[in-house]
Structure 1
Amino acid sequence: MQITLQELQVFTTVVDTASITSAAERLEQTVSGVSRALGRLEQKLQTTLLRRTTRRLELTEEGQAFLKYARDILTSVEEAEEQMAARKKYPSGLLRIDAATPVMLHVITPLIDTYRARYPQVELELQSNEGITDLIEKRTDVAFRVGSLADSTLHARLIGTSRIRILASPDYLKRHGTPRNVEQLAEHTLLGFTKPEHLNQWPLHERSGDLLQIKPAITSSSGETLRHLALSGAGIVCLSDFMTQRDRQARRLVPLFPEHTLEIKQPIHAVYYRNTALSSRITSFINHITGALGERPFDEH
């Protein structure tokens, strides 16, 4: 039968991109070349792996079953290559990283240049998703997540914590005044998250003693969008220090209720499925991020 790794790579990439054209672009091959490789694979297996329609590609039942074997084979080859690189104590190969946009922009990307200078043989693929990513489905090696973790199947490593604060721009406060107590917040434009709802609990006590649950006038699924709204003077926001450190230092955003704000810190974890002993790339990247963050805490003003 003699199925090749190139044919397996073509098949999984077509599935991941849901398009022969997109797969060809990712693999830097021609569309006809990808189509022929897919055809050869189906001919060797004597089965149809993908149904082709004018609108989309759809896995057949046989294709769904074969996909797992194809991914396992490619992963085994990658791990074998990593083991050889690990023998030289020099990580190499492709590392797929996922993080929400604020984490990617404020935590990960500022440290990419120094990581690449140290490990030039590692290729990086950066993906931003506001929701929770299925690491296996998206073929992600390591993801960075803020807040408590619900998925017990993941290995996790704490890389840092980040305090949340209530902030507003000087321009907003000049136009609308500075609230002096929790009750006065109801008179202001509050910026909050679409979901999950617990992100709209601010680190202040209500009269009942519970955390303040706000009713935002403007919501977004992205903390980065909320940050830009606050910077533009659109309202008052509650964000994590890792996003706003430079804004606070430059006084583009100023803390409100500093004496009454509870010290609530969000954990930031690196999560992964693989054992780091099998991937020097994952180990090296997490160590690099953790070491750098230890040298410059988020809550420094």
Structure 2
Amino acid sequence: MKTTLEELHTFILIVDKGSISAAAEDLNQTPSGVSRTLTRLEKKLGITLLRRTTRRLNLTNEGERFLQSAREVIQALENAEEAVGSKNVLSGTLRIDSASPFILHSVVPYLAEFQQLHPEIQLELFNSERYIDLIENRIDIAIRLGNLADSSLHAVSLGQSKRRLVASPRYLKARGSPKSVEDLQNHTLIGFTDPRELNHWPLKNNGSDRYPIKPHYAASSGETILHMARNGLGIACLGDFMTIKERQSGDLVPVLQGACVEQKEQIHAVYYKNAQLSLRAGVFIKFLKSKLKNAL
């Protein structure tokens, strides 16, 4: 092997930090020393990995491909180290990404218990309302709701969550409860700015099982919509994982239950197929799946 682990690690760090100087600071080295390591790696490979400009560094096409392979090598080494270490002590950083509502309602409540089981694992949580590139953002696991379209991702099912219409008692007292789907035309409806398909509510409607709405209020985050509904602004359609506490407390009540169609949103933990799943990532997925089994 021509390259060394030090060179791979330095290359990855330069990309992740965005500059040679930032990587040097993290490595406690001089920028010139880090630059020499990068140049040495490029000479060994016979390719240019990064284009240097006065303002930024840009990966070449070869650099992008090599970066992915370099990450896999480092990940494989970490897996090997974990495998030969104590089976009861997993360590390292685990980066998890999902939409804010799922993180808040279905991950955060279980973090304390997970930390007690695995105190040496450091969790970093990221909130992305839209799908992101896992490798570019150094995400180990992304938790995604709905249908998966990216065939490059390996998916592990965590369960499914039913969508239903809800409103606050205050709103229904002021405006009355809708008796039919047609009555929704006389009510204030809260929907999504994106994705638009979430504004097709699971209701029986003229032979169809979808009822397209035109929201009076719209938001990009389900968490914002939850707060709007809880504060009496209108009727919303949300996943059960978000509203279970509010429905149990009576802060939100189901609407038009007789007209609702059973529609469950799939929930998956995803990662790239060509990247080995670290032991700590596998442990977290198994842990979260066991918790959601009784919560969804």
TM-score, normalization by structure 2:
0.85
1:4 Cα shift?
Answer: 5.8
Distance in 2 (CA, whole Å) between partners of 1:97 and 1:246 is 24
1:212 Cα shift?
Answer: 0.8
1:53 alignment partner in structure 2: 54
Q: 1:74 to 1:279 in 2, by over 3 A?
A: closer
2:224 alignment partner in structure 1: 225
1:195 alignment partner in structure 2: 194
Instruction: In structure 2, give the amino acid aligned to 1:163.
Output: K
1:263 aligns with 2:225: no
1:82 alignment partner in structure 2: 82
Distance in 2 (CA, whole Å) between partners of 1:152 and 1:99 is 18
Q: 1:116 to 1:14 in 2, by over 3 A?
A: same
Counterpart contact for 2:72–2:275, Cα < 8 Å: no
Secondary structure of 1:131's match? coil
- Cα deviation digits, residues 37-69 of structure 1 (max 9, x gap): 531223424567342334x43234564454345
Q: 1:234 to 1:152 in 2, by over 3 A?
A: same
Aligned pairs for 1:242-253 within 5 A:
242-253=241-252
Counterpart contact for 1:99–1:143, Cα < 8 Å: yes
Distance in 2 (CA, whole Å) between partners of 1:21 and 1:183 is 62
Q: 1:42 to 1:209 in 2, by over 3 A?
A: closer
Instruction: In structure 2, give the amino acid aligned to 1:51.
Output: R
Aligned equivalent of 2:295, options 269, 294, 297: 297
Secondary structure of 1:186's match? helix
Instruction: In structure 2, give the amino acid aligned to 1:53.
Output: T
1:137 alignment partner in structure 2: 136
Q: 1:21 to 1:171 in 2, by over 3 A?
A: farther
- Cα deviation digits, residues 120-147 of structure 1 (max 9, x gap): 1222121111112332332322221111
Distance in 2 (CA, whole Å) between partners of 1:262 and 1:113 is 36
Distance in 2 (CA, whole Å) between partners of 1:272 and 1:194 is 27
Q: 1:164 to 1:35 in 2, by over 3 A?
A: same
2:111 alignment partner in structure 1: 112
1:9 aligns with 2:5: no
Distance in 2 (CA, whole Å) between partners of 1:34 and 1:186 is 66
Unaligned runs of 5+ residues in structure 2 are none
Counterpart contact for 2:10–2:37, Cα < 8 Å: no
1:35 alignment partner in structure 2: 31
- Cα deviation digits, residues 233-256 of structure 1 (max 9, x gap): 222110000011111112221111
State how many pairs are aligned: 291
Residue identity over aligned pairs, in percent, reads: 45
1:166 alignment partner in structure 2: 165
1:179 Cα shift?
Answer: 2.0
Unaligned runs of 5+ residues in structure 1 are none
Q: 1:98 to 1:48 in 2, by over 3 A?
A: closer
Instruction: In structure 2, give the amino acid aligned to 1:297.
Output: A
Distance in 2 (CA, whole Å) between partners of 1:21 and 1:218 is 46
Secondary structure of 1:195's match? coil
Q: 1:68 to 1:283 in 2, by over 3 A?
A: closer
Distance in 1 (CA, whole Å) between partners of 2:275 and 2:7 is 28
TM-score, normalization by structure 1:
0.83
Q: 1:238 to 1:59 in 2, by over 3 A?
A: same
Secondary structure of 1:204's match? coil
1:71 Cα shift?
Answer: 2.4
Counterpart contact for 1:202–1:212, Cα < 8 Å: yes
Secondary structure of 1:78's match? helix
Distance in 2 (CA, whole Å) between partners of 1:125 and 1:34 is 28
Counterpart contact for 1:192–1:216, Cα < 8 Å: yes
Distance in 2 (CA, whole Å) between partners of 1:203 and 1:277 is 38
- Cα deviation digits, residues 146-175 of structure 1 (max 9, x gap): 112222332222222211110112222233
Q: 1:38 to 1:228 in 2, by over 3 A?
A: farther
1:231 Cα shift?
Answer: 1.9
Q: 1:62 to 1:142 in 2, by over 3 A?
A: closer
1:219 Cα shift?
Answer: 2.1
Secondary structure of 2:257's match? coil
Distance in 1 (CA, whole Å) between partners of 2:121 and 2:30 is 26
